[in-house]
Amino acid sequence: MRLVDTHVHVNFPEYDRDLAEVRQRWQSAGVCRLVHSCVNPADFPKMQAIAQHFPEVSLAVGLHPLSTAEFWQDQLAEQIKTLAQSDSRIVAIGETGLDFYKAENQPEQITAFQHQLAIAQDLGLPVIIHCRESAHATYEVLKDFPNIRGVMHCWAGNPQETEWFLSLGMYISFSGIITFKNAKQIHESSKIVPSDRLLIETDCPFLAPHPQRGKRNEPALVKYVAHKLAELRQTDILEITEQTTNNAFTLFNL
Ligand code: NI
């Protein structure tokens, strides 16, 4: 079984003590590639150091929407673009997007998102999109970038919202949330995504899937997401793992 975890944060301090063991477990679970998402360009040197040790880890660079209040300034766009061109292990811009859960800072989030989409378009890179309580606004921004490719990460939208982003050509990535019993809307959304647009991720250290819910998450646990998708889509686990792995290689040009 070959799996790709398309969204990890293994630079977070949760892994400072035992990342080598965490890696052994993702290797045993068949995770052959990982995409390391970036919440702040200031973290990039640590992410590069990890990729140096673990060559299966590919990199993204970007600024998370919830970091925009503290860190966004227009010159950061130049910095992200320069970093993205400086390292051949970079496979995406992100994570960027909109997070209106607490409904603050919306204009600044939109500006930072637009800048990062423009960079992704200029450099021909896919974009990793965080979208929380903001599907309509995210759609409105994205549709002005018709050539953009990317993924709706840790997707939690309803089927109608899922259709909006599929119509823009986006990939849809499901996380451990899909294994939660009460995630009915996400279960329904997972059934309408065409198999050539489907991706899986952990978003670790957050959102560990059932039966590890509440504990620290890690890339090896992405297998539970694959199993749940196979159950929901009434297909074979090997079909899910092969398809999602192929899709990740295609989108991120791995
Ligand atoms: Ni993330």
Distance 1 CA to ligand 1 centre (A): 24
Cα separation, 184 vs 46, in Å, equals: 37
**What distance in angstroms lies between residue 237's CA and the mean position of ligand 1's atoms?**
25
Whole-model pTM? Answer: 0.97
> 35 CA distance to ligand 1 centroid (A)?
10
pLDDT of residue 74: 87
Q: What is the reported pLDDT for 87?
A: 96
The mean of the pLDDT values for the chain is 97
Distance 204 CA to ligand 1 centre (A): 8
Q: Report the separation in Å between the CA atom of 145 and the middle of ligand 1, taken as the mean of its atom positions.
A: 22
Span from the CA of 8 to the centroid of ligand 1 (angstroms): 7
Place of tokens 């970036």: 38
Percent of the chain whose predicted confidence (pLDDT) is above 70 = 100
Q: Model confidence over 140-191: pLDDT tens digits?
A: 999 999 999 999 999 999 999 999 999 999 999 999 999 999 999 999 999 9
Q: How far is the CA of 243 from the centre of ligand 1 (A)?
A: 22
With a CB cutoff of 8 Å and minimum separation 6, the contacts of 177 are: 154, 156, 183, 186, 207
pLDDT band at 79 (very low <50, low <70, confident <90, very high): very high
Residues 6+ apart with CB under 8 A from 234: none
Average pLDDT of span 24-33? 98
Q: Which token pair is 127?
A: 């974009």
Ligand 1 centroid – CA 37 distance (Å): 6
Residue 109 pLDDT greater than 80, yes or no? yes
Distance from residue 12's CA to the centre of ligand 1 (Å):
11
Expressed in angstroms and rounded, the spacing between residue 153 Cα and the centre of ligand 1 is 8
What pLDDT shows up at residue 1? Answer: 87
Lowest-pLDDT choice from 68-82, 199-213, 224-238: 68-82
- Which residues are in the CB-under-5-Å shell of ion ligand 1? 37
What is the length of the chain?
254
For residue 135, the model assigns a pLDDT of 98
- Confidence label for 103 from pLDDT (cuts 50, 70 and 90): confident
- Lowest-confidence range among 51-55, 102-106, 107-111? 102-106
pLDDT of residue 226: 98
Give how far Cα 147 sits from Cα of 80, 139, 239, Å: 20, 14, 29
Q: State the Cα–Cα distance between residues 128 and 90, nearest whole angstrom.
A: 12
Kindly give the distance from the C-alpha atom of residue 89 to the centroid of ligand 1, in angstroms, as a whole number.
Answer: 18
**Ligand 1 centroid vs 151 CA: distance in angstroms?**
12
pLDDT at 123: 97
101 confidence band (pLDDT: 50, 70, 90)? very high
pLDDT in tens, 115-150: 999 999 999 999 999 999 999 999 999 999 999 999
Span from the CA of 203 to the centroid of ligand 1 (angstroms): 5
